[in-house]
């Protein structure tokens, strides 16, 4: 049995990849578990050096990896090149953090005792990643795991395994042992069950939909695994009356149309103060219509295809639902769908007069659509922003420090971005509140969940 990897822009077959049998997966899990005993004893400086070599190899293969990302995910080639840099930045960051896993001593409550706290890697980590950032979501998990001294096994998304296969191959070429970093290919539900049931796996780290994240959390309960979840989002972007409108327009576009809107932190709802909505929507539409839609390997394309039919149908449903309930189309709402070939393109769309009863204001869109709604008071904007089960990223634009402080303190989101449409970076803690996830990836926080805390109590010492 094989996975057929197709280019979502053309429908052409890129490559076939064998699906691992259950027996092969169990063997790999066993090897990952057994190699842990050697890997975690390797000194942190050496692990750091191997990560740096891996980083160099990834940069050396930058063009090839970027082309693979575009071929299997459809994103424009410049975005794929950016993703390779972004993916490398996680390896670089955790190559350094490997050397900074500190313990501590605690003053004892007796003269004959000493108390020491150390950190140890959790063991074999199993990762499941999505198709939208096949390189960065892999390294954001693998780099801290390996830096901490964990061994690592990954199941990439069924439609984008080629990037992961290349990254794992480069890790081996860099000198990271084959059983320390491994991949398996197969269907999510089948491999997920093997990962969660395995007593060799000590931690599950997942990026993907909230539905699957909840399932993995339930299935991990029987063996009480550590778990990190980076799940769906429904990011609000709020523009106050005093904001710099031109800047807010450029940042809205930067956030919304990254990967054709198929990014977990893409803006999903734009809330504009009622006194500036006409100026903002006019300026926004003028810029949005300039964006070029097409095959990401062609020159100057800004927006590639939608990943698959299910994603396409959901976006079209949300646009139609909004229009039926009174939304006005300012631009877009054109699409090309070739269902036989599996190719789906949606032209960037701006909708005005959107309200809370429309599906687009409640559900993640994962597509190039901007719904605009208005507010009068900042309290009302916060109430709308917080009104979904999601809490990943929120954006606001204001030049008033009091308004900024209010938004910062009252928005229930793990990532709050003030006058900034691009907050993701390896040195920062990325992750969501509420049903958007558990734990943080990146920054000093990103290595924490790969470590156990061990407390040593020494008694019977001379007073």
Ligand X SMILES: N[C@@H](CC=O)C(=O)O
Radius of gyration over alpha carbons of the chain, in Å? Answer: 23
Rounded Cα distance, 296 and 76, in Å? 4
Site string for ligand X, 311-350 (x = CB under 6 A): ----------------------------------------
Q: Which of 83, 97, 230, 441 is catalytic?
A: 230
CB of 197 to ligand X, least distance (A): 28
User: How long, in residues, is the chain?
Assistant: 463
The H or E element containing residue 138 is helix 136-148
Q: Decide if 153 contacts 138 (C-beta within 8 A).
A: no
Rounded Cα distance, 117 and 456, in Å? 6
In 3D space, the residue among 419, 349, 384 whose CA is nearest the CA of residue 271 turns out to be 384
Beta carbon nearer to ligand NAD, 32 or 208: 208
Residue of the chain from 35, 88, 129, 132 that contacts ligand X (CB under 6 A): 132
CA–CA–CA angle 355, 359, 362 (5° rounding):
80
Name the binder of 424 from ligand X, ligand NAD, none, CB < 5-8 A by kind. ligand X
In 3D space, the residue among 164, 196, 200, 197 whose CA is nearest the CA of residue 182 turns out to be 164
Q: Which of 150, 264, 331, 343 is catalytic?
A: 264
Number of residues forming the site for ligand X (CB under 6 A): 8
Across the chain, how many H-helices and E-strands are there?
13, 22
CB of 351 to ligand NAD, least distance (A): 20
Residue of the chain from 264, 307, 378, 447 that contacts ligand X (CB under 6 A): 264
Name the binder of 136 from ligand X, ligand NAD, none, CB < 5-8 A by kind. ligand X
Q: Decide if 5 contacts 72 (C-beta within 8 A).
A: yes
The H or E element containing residue 207 is strand 201-207
Name the binder of 421 from ligand X, ligand NAD, none, CB < 5-8 A by kind. none
Name the binder of 157 from ligand X, ligand NAD, none, CB < 5-8 A by kind. ligand NAD
In 3D space, the residue among 51, 221, 119, 45 whose CA is nearest the CA of residue 450 turns out to be 119
In 3D space, the residue among 202, 151, 153 whose CA is nearest the CA of residue 180 turns out to be 151
In 3D space, the residue among 379, 378, 383 whose CA is nearest the CA of residue 397 turns out to be 378
| Site of interaction with ligand NAD (CB under 6 A) | 128-132, 157-158, 188-189, 192, 207-209, 212, 215-216, 230-233, 264, 364, 366, 392, 432, 437
Beta carbon nearer to ligand NAD, 101 or 369: 369
Site string for ligand X, 393-432 (x = CB under 6 A): -------------------------------x-----x--
Rounded Cα distance, 461 and 333, in Å? 76
**Is 264 tagged catalytic?**
yes
Name the binder of 8 from ligand X, ligand NAD, none, CB < 5-8 A by kind. none
**Is 230 tagged catalytic?**
yes
263 lies in the site for ligand X, by CB under 6 A = yes
Beta bridge partners, 3, equal 17
CB of 366 to ligand NAD, least distance (A): 6
Which residues of the chain form contacts with ligand X (CB under 6 A)? 132-133, 136, 263-265, 424, 430
The residues that are catalytic are 230, 264
């Amino acid at each position: 049995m094989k996975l057929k990897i197709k280019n979502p822009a053309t429908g052409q077959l890129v490559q076939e990849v064998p699906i691992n049998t259950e027996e092969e997966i169990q063997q790999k899990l066993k090897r990952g578990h057994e190699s842990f005993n050697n890997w975690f004893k390797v000194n942190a400086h050496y692990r750091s050096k191997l990560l740096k070599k891996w980083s160099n190899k990834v940069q050396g293969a930058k063009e090839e990896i970027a082309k693979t990302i575009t071929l299997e995910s459809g994103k424009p080639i410049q975005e794929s090149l950016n993703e390779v840099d972004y993916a490398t930045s996680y390896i670089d960051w955790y190559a350094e953090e490997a050397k900074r896993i500190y313990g501590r001593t605690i003053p004892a409550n007796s003269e004959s005792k000493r108390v020491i706290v150390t950190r140890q890697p959790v063991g074999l980590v199993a990762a499941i990643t999505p198709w939208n950032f096949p390189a960065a979501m892999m390294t954001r998990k693998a780099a801290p795991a390996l830096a901490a001294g964990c061994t690592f096994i990954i199941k990439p998304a069924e439609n984008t395994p080629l990037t992961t296969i290349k990254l794992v191959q480069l890790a081996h070429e860099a000198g990271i042992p084959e059983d320390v970093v491994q991949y398996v290919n197969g269907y999510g539900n089948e491999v997920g069950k093997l990962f969660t049931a395995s007593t060799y796996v000590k931690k599950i780290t997942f990026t993907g939909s909230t539905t699957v994240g909840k399932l993995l959390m339930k299935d991990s309960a029987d063996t009480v695994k550590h778990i990190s979840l980076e799940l769906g989002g429904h990011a609000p972007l709020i523009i106050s009356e005093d904001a710099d409108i031109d800047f807010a327009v450029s940042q809205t576009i930067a956030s919304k149309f990254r990967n054709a809107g198929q990014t977990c932190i893409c803006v999903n709802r734009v809330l504009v103060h009622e006194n500036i909505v006409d100026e903002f929507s006019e300026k926004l539409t003028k810029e949005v219509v300039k964006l070029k839609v097409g095959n990401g390997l062609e020159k100057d394309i800004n927006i590639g295809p939608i990943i698959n039919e299910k994603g396409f149908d959901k976006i079209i449903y949300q646009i139609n639902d909004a229009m039926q309930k009174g939304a006005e189309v300012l631009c877009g709402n054109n699409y090309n769908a070739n269902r036989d070939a599996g190719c789906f393109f949606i032209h960037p769309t701006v909708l005005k007069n959107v309200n809370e009863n429309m599906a687009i204001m409640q559900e993640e869109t994962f597509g190039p659509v901007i719904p605009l709604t208005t507010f009068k008071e900042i309290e009302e904007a916060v109430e709308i922003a917080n009104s979904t089960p999601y809490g990943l990223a929120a954006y606001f634009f204001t030049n008033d420090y009091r308004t900024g402080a209010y938004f910062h303190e009252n928005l229930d989101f793990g990532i709050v971005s003030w006058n900034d449409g691009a907050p993701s970076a390896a040195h920062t803690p990325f992750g969501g509140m509420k049903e958007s996830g558990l734990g943080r990836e990146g920054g000093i926080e990103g290595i924490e969940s790969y470590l156990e805390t061990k407390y040593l109590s020494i008694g019977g010492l001379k007073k």
